[in-house]
Amino acid sequence: MTSRRATRTTSSASPARAARTTVAAAALGALALAATSCSLVGGDDDTGQGGSGESDTVVLLTHNDFFLPDEVVAAFEEESGYQLDVRPTDGVGNLVNLVSEQAGKPSGDVVFGVDNTFASRVLGADALTSYAGDLPPGVATYALPGDDEGDLVPVDNGNVCVNVDDVWFAKQEIEPPVTLDDLTDPAYEGLFVVPSAASSSPGLAFLLSTIAEYGDEWPSYWEDLLANDTEIVAGWSEAYQSEFTQGGGDGDRPIVVSYDSSPAFTVDGEGGTTTSALLDTCYQQVEYAAALDGADNPDGAQALLDFMVGPDVQAALPESMYVFPVADDTELPSDWATFAARPSESYEVDPAEIEANREDWLIEWTDIISR
């Protein structure tokens, strides 16, 4: 009995309800049509015909921040005769691990996005093969110390620096800080926000600059930072957008870890910028590309590496990936040329030392900040 009634309840429909059902179904259908151009097989295009194995395609393994304008990609494809197949993955760490994991049997031809904090891991995994081309003037100055075979081709660079909100400091009539030491000064109590070294790349770079400055004493510097009410958040977005006074989210901290290029994005429209980078606090990050050992298309890999250090990519780097070019005489966008001041010297930690100590440093750092 019960079940028969139930069946009737579910299947009977009043005319009004039927009409509503029809309208809703029609709406869904329209949405589906609008959405798809009738895709029941996922896509409309032609990328990666069969992936590796075809020598007319170059497969680039990279991270999610990789981006080049269409015309630059088209220029590569036209000049070289190869199709570019870009396969991004989640972040530098995973990219580096993927390449190391597949050493000798890679799932691509070229890797781009390995930076100087992770480079030793890839070199140690024997996943790369050396670059045979000629580097344009200026590029070699960014070569990775310890890369004796010349596997890693520098492509771009940028500095992770402490940034300050000049407007805020002017209004409060306080002198902004200048050095890492200043950040522990009680005058700046509760004003500084840092992305985590464990979950963000600029966060790790900032930790490394404190290690470069204070050596074995870095833990006590961090204790002082925390005693001065420094806030630590998950990533760059949380720090800059949410907590920084010049970020999007009405934050209340006027000192933040960001990049030397950031002031070019806070232009006030009256010929100035509202923020500046503290040039004595910077850690230089260099991003490298390299041909993968055992790749299906070594010639294509070579062509892509040549192109990455060539004028088209170098000129496109600031606006597409927010980093500085490595080749001399590359013209910068005008806001960058005017407002993105660069440090003359920055902190460095030997890549091999980073690889050897990363785990110990991060565990000690995590212990300090979770006390």
Partner 1 sequence: MKRAAGLVALATLPLGVLTVFFVLPVVGMLGRGLWPDGSFDPAALYDVLSRPRVGRVIWFTVWTSTVATVVAVVLGLPAAYALHRLDFPLRGVVRSALLVPFVLPTVVVGVAFRQLLREGGPLGFLGIDGTPWAILAGLVFFNVAVVIRSVGAAWESLDRRPGEAAAALGATPRQVFTSITLPSLRPAIVSSASVVFLFCATAFGVVLTIGGVRYASVETEIYLLTTVLYDLPGAAALSIVQLLAVVALLAVSARVRRVPDPTVQRATPRPLRPRRSDAPQLIATGVLLALLAAPIAALVAESLRVEDRWSLGHYRNLATTGGDGVLVVPVTTALRNSLQTALDATWIALLLGLLVSVVLTRRSRSATERRVRSVLDGFFMLPLGVSAVTLGFGFLVTLGREPLDLRTWPLLVPVAQALVALPLVVRTLVPVLAGIDDRQRQAAASLGAGALRTAMTVDVPIVLRPVVAAAGFAFAVSLGEFGATSFLSRADHPTVPVVIFRLIGRPGEGNYGMALAASVVLAATTALVILAVERLRVPAMGSW
Question: Which residues 65-124 are close enough to bind partner 1 by CB under 8 A?
Answer: 65-67, 69, 85-91, 93-94, 96-98, 100-102, 105-107, 121
Binders of partner 1 among residues 48 to 67 (CB under 8 A) are 48, 50-52, 64-67
Nearer to partner 1, 104 or 137 (CB): 104
Question: Cβ atoms within 10 A of the Cβ of 29, count?
Answer: 10
- Closest approach of Cβ 262 to partner 1, in Å? 5
Residues forming beta bridges with residue 86, ordered by sequence position: 60
Q: Which residues have CB under 8 Å from 220's CB, separation 6+?
A: 214
Nearer to partner 1, 93 or 298 (CB): 93
Nearest to 225 by CA among 210, 212, 243, 215: 210
Nearest to 320 by CA among 359, 297, 287, 275: 287
Binders of partner 1 among residues 321 to 340 (CB under 8 A) are 322, 333
Binders of partner 1 among residues 277 to 306 (CB under 8 A) are none
The residue within the footprint of partner 1, chosen from 32, 140, 170, 356 (CB under 8 A), is 32
Residues forming beta bridges with residue 207, ordered by sequence position: none
**Spatial distance between the Cα atoms of 3 and 162, rounded to a whole number of angstroms:** 69
Show the tokens assigned to 42: 């996922």
- Binding flag, residue 274, partner 1 (CB under 8 A): no
Count interface residues toward partner 1 (CB under 8 A): 94
Q: Is 162 helix (H, G, I), strand (E, B) or coil?
A: strand
- Binding flag, residue 228, partner 1 (CB under 8 A): no
- Closest approach of Cβ 298 to partner 1, in Å? 16
User: Which of the ranges 28-36, 139-147, 217-225, 300-308 carries the binding residues for partner 1, by CB under 8 A?
Assistant: 28-36
User: Which of the ranges 41-49, 128-136, 169-177, 342-350 carries the binding residues for partner 1, by CB under 8 A?
Assistant: 41-49
Question: Cβ atoms within 10 A of the Cβ of 197, count?
Answer: 23
Nearer to partner 1, 135 or 193 (CB): 193
Nearer to partner 1, 196 or 209 (CB): 196
Binders of partner 1 among residues 180 to 199 (CB under 8 A) are 196, 198-199
- Binding flag, residue 265, partner 1 (CB under 8 A): yes
Nearer to partner 1, 136 or 351 (CB): 351
Nearest to 117 by CA among 369, 365, 353, 363: 353
The residue within the footprint of partner 1, chosen from 148, 216, 250, 345 (CB under 8 A), is 250
**Spatial distance between the Cα atoms of 357 and 348, rounded to a whole number of angstroms:** 15
Nearer to partner 1, 169 or 244 (CB): 244
- Closest approach of Cβ 347 to partner 1, in Å? 20
**Spatial distance between the Cα atoms of 147 and 128, rounded to a whole number of angstroms:** 11
Binders of partner 1 among residues 229 to 248 (CB under 8 A) are 231-238, 240-243, 247-248
Query: Could you tell me the sign of the dihedral formed by the alpha carbons of 320, 325, 330, 334, in that order?
Result: positive
Question: Cβ atoms within 10 A of the Cβ of 271, count?
Answer: 7
**Spatial distance between the Cα atoms of 101 and 98, rounded to a whole number of angstroms:** 5
